[in-house]
């Protein structure tokens, strides 16, 4: 009986773990969504600042902190630290989240696209290497 209970719990755990994984974003789809960002931003090995800052190591990074990029005072003084929730709220409507920023972008509001884009951009460390 103990073996059956342990087996059942193991199967349940694997099922729940799989369900959690299916809720995560799709990095390949996120890479495709990132095409909307590429006019201004780069990510990955060799990324450099363009019209917008490079986005390596975004998860956990303080907003307005990339060396060599001329941020607006609004972004530098936002007090924001990038994480999934902040990124998703910001990218839906950047100027509403931080009034006075330079970023000109209509936003992305579709939840699945937000999930995918976050999965992609958060998948790079500060050196542009895939995690």
Question: Would residue 66 count as lying in a domain?
Answer: yes
What the block records as the tokens of 103 is 């970023």
- Residue 23 pLDDT: 54
Domain that holds residue 82: 26-121
**Domains held by the chain: number:** 1
Q: What is the value of pTM for the model shown?
A: 0.81
Question: Would residue 17 count as lying in a domain?
Answer: no
Question: Would residue 18 count as lying in a domain?
Answer: no
Closest to 59 (Cα-Cα) out of 126, 130, 105, 5: 126
Q: pLDDT tens digit string along 10-58?
A: 333 433 333 333 358 999 999 999 999 999 999 999 999 999 999 999 9
Entry field: residues in the chain: 131
What is the C-alpha separation between 41 and 93, in angstroms, rounded?
17
Helices (H), strands (E): how many in the chain? Answer: 6, 0
CA dist 129 → 12, 31, 59, 92, 117 (Å): 34, 15, 13, 26, 17
Closest to 118 (Cα-Cα) out of 41, 8, 36, 33: 33
Question: Would residue 19 count as lying in a domain?
Answer: no
Q: What's the mean pLDDT in 116-123?
A: 98
Closest to 94 (Cα-Cα) out of 77, 109, 112: 109
What is the C-alpha separation between 42 and 113, in angstroms, rounded?
18
């Amino acid at each position: 009986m103990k073996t059956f209970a342990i087996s059942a719990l193991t199967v349940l755990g694997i099922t729940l773990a799989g369900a959690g994984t299916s809720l995560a974003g799709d990095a390949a789809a996120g890479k495709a969504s990132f095409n909307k960002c590429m006019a201004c931003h780069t990510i990955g090995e060799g990324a450099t600042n363009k019209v917008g800052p490079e986005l390596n190591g975004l998860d956990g990074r303080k907003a307005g902190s990339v060396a060599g990029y001329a941020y607006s005072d609004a972004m530098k003084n936002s007090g924001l630290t990038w994480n999934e929730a902040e990124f998703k709220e910001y990218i839906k409507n950047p100027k509403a989240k931080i009034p006075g920023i330079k970023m000109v972008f209509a936003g992305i509001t579709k939840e699945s696209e937000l999930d995918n884009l976050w999965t992609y951009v958060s998948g790079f460390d500060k050196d542009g290497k895939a995690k």
